[in-house]
Amino acid sequence: MGDPQTKKDPRVGKTTRLVEYLTRLASLRTRLIRDIDKYEKVLWFADIPDDRDCPTRAWGRSEEQEADNEWLEVKNRQEPELPAVPAQCKDWIDQSALRNKGGSPELLSEITRQVENPEWREGSDQPETIPRTERLDEHPGVRAAWDRYVEDKWMPWTEVHTAWEKVHKVYSALFAIHQGQLRLGEEYELVLGLGLLTWQTPNGQRVRRHLVVADVLLEFEARLGKFTVRAHTEGAKLRPELDMLDIGEQAARAEETAKSSLTDAGDDPWKRGCVEGVLQALVHSIDPQGEYNDALEKKGISATAKPVVEYAPALILRKRSAKGLTEALRRIKERIETDECIPGEFADLAEIGPESDRETSDDPEEPNRAFHGEVFFPKPSNEDQRRIIDKIQTAGGVLVQGPPGTGKSHTIANLICHLLATGQRTLITAKTPRALQVLEGLIPEELRPLCINLLGSGLEERRSLESSVGGILRKNEGWKEDNASRKRAELESRIQRLREESAKINRRLRDIRESETHPQSIAEGIYRGTAARIAEAVNRDRGAYEWFTDTVDPNQPCTITKEDFFVALKAFREITADQRQELQQVLPSSDGLLGQTEFSDLVTREKRAAEDEKDANSSFALWRSVIISRSRRRKRKVEDEILRHMQSTEALLAQSNTHPVVTDLRTAIQNRNVDELGHANEKIRELSSRKKQMDRADKITERIRSYLPKLTDELQKTHGEPHWEERNRHIGDAWRWAQARYWLEEYINQEDAPALAKRAKQIEDEIGGIIAELASLHAWSFCFSRLEEDHRRHMEAWQQSMRRLGKGTGKHAPRHRREAQQHLNQCRKAVPAWVMPLHRVWDTVEPEPGMFDVIIVDEASQCGVEALPLFYLGKKILIVGDDKQISPDAVGLPRDAVHRLMAEFIDDFQFKSSFDVESSLFDHGRLRYGTRRITLREHFRCMPEIIRFSNDLCYSDTPLIPLRQYGSDFLSPLEHVFVEGGYREGSGNGVINRPEADAIVEKIFELCSNSGYDEKTMGVVVLQGEAQAARIEDQLLERLGAEEMERRRLICGNPYSFQGDERDIMLLSLVAAGNERIGPFTKPADERRFNVAASRARDQMILFHSVTVNDLSGSDLRRRLLEFFENTTPQRIAELEWDELERRASQDNRRIIEPPSPFESWFEVDVALELRRKNLKVLPQYEVAGKRIDLVVEGGRARLAVECDGDHWHGADRYEADMQRQRQLERCGWEFFRVRESAFYANKDRALEGLWHMLKERNIPM
């Protein structure tokens, strides 16, 4: 504080005091470990057998290992099977004794058998069998067989099994370290320790620590069941460690000298000549009388005033030091003191500058132009997620409250895409890598090279770097900005067209929905009202008019009269087929017929002329000729007249299909039979009249047929039925009914709503894909616009160095690794996005003010003061977290020392309490950005029943909205198991409940054997202490094996082990038991732990407990959790009285009486009853996401939502909100079927046909 620079500018002085405070606090938080037994896990190499199946460099390098860089390789082998005991010996041996390898198993000297009772008879009171004692010396064959078995089989088995057991112990120890890394995260590190110092220091401290360490990578290949230990991908970084010694106990420059000497070993800590030379030098620098022992085994010596160093290599899992953070803070302080550059957000943190300079409200400022235009979210998003972009346009910081399972990773992935597309250099970080590991899979593939993941997974991390650097270089080679610009314009045009199409489709869907509410007037106003009411009327009249099957234009008035219909009916009834055939035969015209009187006159005249001619023959000769001539002339005239009629008749007979009456007519004329001709004429006139009537009826019938072909055909077929008279009386009404029915069908079929909805979903997916592609083009364009030639060269050089590094072996490997790291440091600015846990930020980043445009911090409630330097690195910061989850703690930290630091460095800070060790980054965000807080409430992870505990416990003010639903793989969400006889033992973190642990292990073994749990991931959370988790894990390793545990991602730990993580199945151990005092969990920290524990399970959460609610205090969170399990059942709506509902549906006056609760309309009632008749379980007005679904069909292991679109319109805004809610639920697995009221009442079977198919697909039985 005496620096002249700080005196010159008090703002700089205040800021550097804050940095110094953070530095001192970081050092204070680092717990000094002097005894190796205080570390999390330790595996001594001396405990590794010198076995070809367990090769390790600790036993020296073999020829096979010359080209390898593995320090240790352990492969799981199947346990040698105990050889079968000879049949005659089975009764003479205690089976448990066979596994006791401490001595040779012995046969029993005597045994008791049950043999047949010779006194027993059917019906007697004698027992059927009696005991008989046999002595071993009575069976020499048994002894001989046993001796051969022991010598030939059992003894060889013990040798093989002992060798297997030694390797398996190492395998189990490595698995425990592996599980510890997964559980504890990147806050812990794995190192190799060499040179165990045991010493009682002059100030009385007992030291038992290694003097030299190297960074280690532990790899587990579950498929092969193999663990490999090798140098870390960033190098072993072989180095001395003397922090466990006070400064006065270290020789001057001893550490620097040792570090320099170790460079000769490179990355190979097994170069014993070099390493042991350093160890000897170190022990002698501590005390010239110090001793060095080069043995692999530790001797277990006691600490004395004389330091002793043993080679004793060991693998150590331990908490990382704060060296990276303190070094970063030192550099920040130097920069501030040198150039006085203090970024705005860090200046606000240091409380320098007037308050008026800071934004204190949500009033918009000039937005960052980079954020204008398209929001590049390739994945579906809700309004809250999109608001983040709006907020960060005008603010230096935004706070996002993200309770468990609310899609934080999904949101961050979308934000990364948008920030890359708008040219923002971004850092994404968190306390542990758990919350960050899922991001890579969520980012579109074409953007992944622009986003480097440093999540501490060894080879995966190296592959990410290689993929990014190689991807950038390859893309750069073929990049043409003109082509990219044209492609962007094309994609933007496609998006515009798709959005226009989407708007039209959504408008059509809305119009369809809205049209259900419009009044209509059909069939001259006989049918009027909404389409649904018309459908009901059509259905009401269906029984009376369904015989009218023809389609009738609604605008065509009825032109068929009752009289016409009667004529047609009468014709069909009276004119038989034979009669019709007869009437269709050829007849002479009735008008041209030779009349009977006329014919009689002609016949008479013909006769008279003949008679006159005959009489003339007897008359006088003078007159004879005259008379004859005159008679003949009269006769010929008559005959000509008759002949003319005969010829007319002959002409008719010459035609085909002439009626027989024509022949009769000809015969009558020919025979001059006046009576016969009269009969023929009468017949012809009758036939002609009938034919005329038939022709008129046919004409009317054809006119009817032209309008109603189906009806005419049916009339022709069934005219004899008596109901046609009744139908004739209502032909006009039936016509109008058919008009209404036709209009209804046209109305329903004019728009295919399901197809439109499907197309709308396709467009949404297409737009998402195009946005991802467009974001990629923008992002790459920004990347290459900033890629300088120097960056490109360093990337090429990095690739070459990595190729030379190869597998990381050889004496030049350290140099290649250093060169690669140097090149990477020089090209970091060319990579726009980095994903890494907080400790990697401080280990790898050279801090510069505002070096990132945006910093996103996930799980910020876990981050403490160690995250505050992020305000220096970023221009804007997005803090994502939840203050209802686990926050930093100060266990083991001297609070007085913290308060002294606060008084010394930040006593003049207005909000100095916010810098306490228990304050989280989220707390700082709430303090500084509280007015720009966005809360995510939609819960995507847990089944609704599971998340309700956390909802009630922590989020009652702003409850989470669970969106998941039962799928076809539905499991019972909540189960609890009471462990009879459970008891607690131990204290503090060492408490265990053996019966409870055994029950959990047995349950997991059972679940893993159940096909219903195939591919399900699992986890175990203990709610008290940590020893219970270790016990369960050890037993699972024996029962399941490491491979199955790895496949299931099965971790056992406390709630902290799972924050930011999830599993399909979670098992909780309450641990508490009635045999020990049960101290209640009531603190806010306990509430946060229980919240995390109870919100990790996606599908099922099982609680194991050895106490009842009566054993627990009323304020104990254990009791609240147990009551929740005991009293919660899956969401159900009370069973309805379906018979009563049927009665009311048929009898109630629907115009007056409201539908029974909980139904909102009679339409819903009718649909529900239709579903119920199919033996389906129906839940009306089912609540989800704060809204209600009209009907939910439940069956098997699935549910389906049914929305009833009736004729009540709530407005366009309500419709849009409902559709948005439906899309959100669909993204969570809900499937919807929408039924229109008009379609349902018009044709129930057709309206619900699609529903039956959907139910079948989801295995919901009917």
pLDDT digits (tens, 9 = 90+) for 475-485: 888 899 999 99
| pLDDT exceeds cutoff 80 at 459 | no
Measured between alpha carbons, how far is 807 from 235 in angstroms, rounded to an integer?
Answer: 11
Question: Residue 1131's pLDDT is what?
Answer: 45
942-949+974-1127 folds as Rossmann fold (3.40.50)
> What is the phi/psi pair of residue 1097, to 5°?
-85, 130
Least confident span in 443-457, 458-472, 926-940, 1217-1231: 1217-1231
* Digit-coded pLDDT (tens) for 96-147: 888 888 888 888 999 888 888 888 888 788 888 888 888 988 899 999 999 9
Asked whether the beta carbons of 307 and 288 are under 8 A apart, the reply is no
Q: Which two tokens stand for residue 523?
A: 């069939």
For all residues of the chain together, what is the average pLDDT? 86
Q: Answer whether residue 379 shows pLDDT above 70.
A: yes
Query: Radius of gyration of the chain from Cα atoms?
Result: 50
% of the chain beyond a pLDDT of 70: 93
**pLDDT greater than 80 at residue 916:** yes
Q: What's the pLDDT score for residue 66?
A: 44
Q: Extract the tokens encoding 561.
A: 């009269």
Distance of CA 315 to the CA centre of its chain: 39
Mean pLDDT of 575-586: 82
Least confident of 100-114, 358-372, 915-929: 358-372
Of 948, 954, 913, 916, the C-alpha closest to 935 is 954
Instruction: Identify which of 54-68, 987-1001, 1201-1215 has the greatest average pLDDT.
Output: 987-1001
The reported pLDDT for the residue numbered 621 is 56
Mean pLDDT of 3-17: 72
The C-alpha atoms of residue 868 and residue 347 are separated, in whole angstroms, by: 12
State the pTM of this model.
0.78
- Enumerate the H helices of 655-729 as residue ranges: 660-670, 674-707, 709-718, 723-729
Give the whole-angstrom CA distance, residue 17 versus residue 1: 8
- What residues contact residue 789 under an 8 Å CB cut-off, 6+ apart? none
Cβ atoms of 180 and 188 within 8 Å: the answer is: yes
Residue 773 near residue 785 (C-beta atoms within 8 A): no
Residue 359 has a pLDDT of 42
Does 1185 or 154 have the greater pLDDT score?
154
Task: Summarize the confidence of residues 872-898 as an average pLDDT.
Answer: 86
**pLDDT at site 636:** 83
Whether 236 has a pLDDT exceeding 90, the answer reads no
Q: What is the pLDDT of residues 715-747, one digit of tens each?
A: 889 988 989 989 999 999 999 999 998 888 888
- Answer whether residue 67 shows pLDDT above 50: no
**∠426-429-433 over CA atoms, to 5°?**
140
Distance CA 809, CA 788 (A): 33
Please tell me the predicted confidence (pLDDT) of residue 1068.
Answer: 97
pLDDT of residue 656: 84
Q: Which of 1093, 1038, 1101 is nearest to 1065 (CA)?
A: 1101
pLDDT at 1141 over 90: no
User: What's 431's DSSP letter?
Assistant: S
- pLDDT 10s digits, 615-636: 766 655 556 666 667 777 877 8
| Distance in angstroms (rounded) separating the CA atoms of residues 919 and 923 | 6
Q: What is the pLDDT of residues 301-339, one digit of tens each?
A: 888 999 999 999 999 999 888 888 999 999 999 999 887
Report the C-alpha gap between 968 and 238 in whole angstroms: 54
| pLDDT above 70: residue 368 | no
The pLDDT value recorded for residue 354 is: 41
| Dihedrals phi, psi of 1173, to nearest 5 degrees | -65, -15
pLDDT band at residue 946 using 50, 70 and 90 as cut-offs: very high
Task: Please indicate whether residue 631 or residue 486 has the higher confidence score (pLDDT).
Answer: 486
Tell me how long the chain is. 1262
Q: Which pLDDT score, from 0 to 100, does residue 364 have?
A: 39
For residue 624, what pLDDT is reported? Answer: 64
- At 440 the pLDDT is 81
In the structure, what pLDDT confidence band is assigned to residue 852 with cuts at 50, 70 and 90? very high
pLDDT at 1132 over 50: no
Q: Is residue 984 pLDDT above 90, yes or no?
A: yes
User: SS3 of 235, please?
Assistant: coil
Predicted pLDDT of residue 383 = 83
The whole-number average pLDDT for the span 380-390 is 86
Instruction: Give the pLDDT of residue 832.
Output: 92
Question: Where would I find the beta strands (DSSP E) of 986-1076?
Answer: 1018-1022, 1051-1053, 1063-1069
Whose CA is closest to 278, among 316, 313, 240? Answer: 240
| Cβ-based burial of 127 (10 A; exposed 0-12, middle 13-18, buried ≥19) | exposed
Among 315-329, 355-369, 805-819, the least confident range: 355-369
In 3D space, the residue among 888, 928, 879 whose CA is nearest the CA of residue 427 turns out to be 879
Residue 63 scores a pLDDT above 50: no
Beta strand segments in 79-205, E: 110-116, 129-135, 188-200
- Residues 652-668 have a mean pLDDT of 85
Is the pLDDT at 1196 greater than 80, yes or no?
no
Whole-angstrom Cα distance, residue 575 to residue 687? 12
In this structure, of 85-89, 127-131, 820-824, 1227-1231, the range with the lowest mean pLDDT score is 1227-1231
Instruction: Name the pLDDT band for 1210 (thresholds 50, 70, 90).
Output: low
% of the chain exceeding 90 in pLDDT: 37
At 1221 the pLDDT is 74
Q: Is 1128 exposed, middle or buried (CB count within 10 Å of its CB: 0-12, 13-18, 19+)?
A: middle
Mean local confidence (pLDDT), 1148-1173: 88
At residue 1099, the pLDDT reads 92
Contact 402, 408 (CB under 8 A): yes
Question: Domain 1138-1257 in CATH: superfamily?
Answer: VSR Endonuclease (3.40.960.10)
pLDDT bucket at 5, cuts 50 / 70 / 90: very low
How buried is 725 (Cβ within 10 angstroms: 0-12 exposed, 13-18 middle, 19+ buried)?
exposed
Q: With CA atoms as reference, report the closest residue to 50 among 170, 157, 228.
A: 170
End-to-end CA distance of the chain: 81
Residue owning tokens 């160690």: 866
Q: Where are the domains of the chain?
A: 33-77+186-320, 87-165, 561-707, 942-949+974-1127, 1138-1257
454: helix, strand or coil: coil
Tokens of 144: 């001989």
Structure token pair of residue 378: 């390739």
pLDDT at residue number 274 = 92
Cβ atoms 1067, 1004 nearer than 8 A: yes
C-alpha 198/C-alpha 290 separation (Å) is 10
